Amino acid sequence: MRQTLMTFSATLLMMGLVATTVLAEKPEDNRATRERGRVIYEQSCLFCHGAEGKGDGPAGWFIGRYSSPHPRDFTTEGYKLRSTESGSLPTDQDLFRTVTQGIPGYMPSFVGLTETERWQVIAHVKSMNPAFKEDKPEPMVFGNPPFPSSDESIEKGRKVYLQFGCVNCHGAEGKGDGKESIEGNLKDARGLPILAGDLAERRAFKNGATARDIYRTLLTGLDGTPMPSYITQFQGKGKDDKDAWHLVDYILSLSGERRP
């Protein structure tokens, strides 16, 4: 009897594992997927992003219609959080990361949806902009850190921070109190005033707060904001990304953290 039960459980467990793996896969982007994504979208996303995905949902009455950042307008390009070059669309993985992690202070995390549901929503969101059909966004190459974090690296990062003009907007101590930010010269793509990020407040980093996230933000920039991509300094002829990792170490040190 015991043996029977064990066999039964083992079979169940094994096949169950297979079933789960199959179900967790990204569903094919077909009509049924988009249709289910639309249903989830209307329950979860519409309030801020609007029925047509123009970022004009009824929540505008509460979050401020002229406040920045604005809910994403899915019908045009200009996504902030990407792993692709400046001006490109995000990859599916980028969208998945944003839906999963949310944006600290602004967009909630949607881990409450199953992975399949998140993929379905993404299929619907992508169907709002025809550019997703024309372009195949390619993620940039992100290297591994070439050295461990050290005091020396942080000090080098501080010099890079000054040299690369970070100080102009983010301020001498990274509190987002640089000259341009304080004087109100920074505008987003809609012409709405925007402030530089507080680099000492690591948990508020919109594009993620791990060392790799910060590294990615430096290379891709945040489209639609004044934060540029620093790709010409870190990749290409005669360049390497050592400075990028020094800078990552310095930015982490501003909130008392250290790259593990």
Partner 1 sequence: MHRRGIAITIGLAYSVMALLWGPLPLAGAADVLSPLYEQPSTSTYQEPVVPKYRRPMQGRSARDPASKPAYQKPVVPKYKPPIQSRSFTNPTPTSVPPPPDNAVHGTAATAQTEKVMAPSQRVTPTVDPVKAESPTIVGRVLFRGVIPPATHFDIDRDVEVCGKVVNLQPITIDPTTGGLHNAIVHVDVGMTAVAAEVSSQGQEEVLPIRNKNCTFIPRLGAERTGSEAEIINDDPMMHNTNMTFGNRTVINVALVAGGNPIRKSFKKAGLHMVKCNVHKFMYGYRYVFDDPFYAATSETGKFRISNLPPGLHRVTVWHETLGIAEKEVQVPSQGTVNLDLEFK
Q: How far is the CB of 29 from partner 1 (least distance, A)?
A: 11
Cα 119 from Cα 37, distance rounded (Å): 8
Q: How far is the CB of 203 from partner 1 (least distance, A)?
A: 25
Complex with partner 1: residue 87 or 146, whichever CB lies closer: 87
Q: How far is the CB of 101 from partner 1 (least distance, A)?
A: 22
Reading the block at residue 49, the tokens are 């992003």
Structural contact between residues 99 and 110, judged by C-beta atoms closer than 8 angstroms? yes
Complex with partner 1: residue 16 or 148, whichever CB lies closer: 16
For residue 9, count CB atoms less than 10 angstroms from its CB and return exposed for 0-12, middle for 13-18, buried for 19 or more: exposed
Reading the block at residue 12, the tokens are 């169940």
Reading the block at residue 61, the tokens are 């009455």
Structural contact between residues 157 and 139, judged by C-beta atoms closer than 8 angstroms? no
Using alpha carbons, select from 260, 223, 241 the residue that is nearest to residue 83: 223
Complex with partner 1: residue 91 or 258, whichever CB lies closer: 91
Cα 179 from Cα 172, distance rounded (Å): 10
Using alpha carbons, select from 82, 81, 85 the residue that is nearest to residue 234: 85
* Residue linked to tokens 């000259």: 179
Complex with partner 1: residue 242 or 258, whichever CB lies closer: 242
Q: How far is the CB of 42 from partner 1 (least distance, A)?
A: 6
With vertex at residue 118, the alpha carbon angle to CA 223 and CA 57, rounded to the nearest 5 degrees, is 60
Using alpha carbons, select from 113, 123, 132, 167 the residue that is nearest to residue 33: 123
Q: How far is the CB of 20 from partner 1 (least distance, A)?
A: 8
For residue 192, count CB atoms less than 10 angstroms from its CB and return exposed for 0-12, middle for 13-18, buried for 19 or more: middle
Complex with partner 1: residue 100 or 185, whichever CB lies closer: 185
Complex with partner 1: residue 99 or 221, whichever CB lies closer: 221
Complex with partner 1: residue 189 or 195, whichever CB lies closer: 189
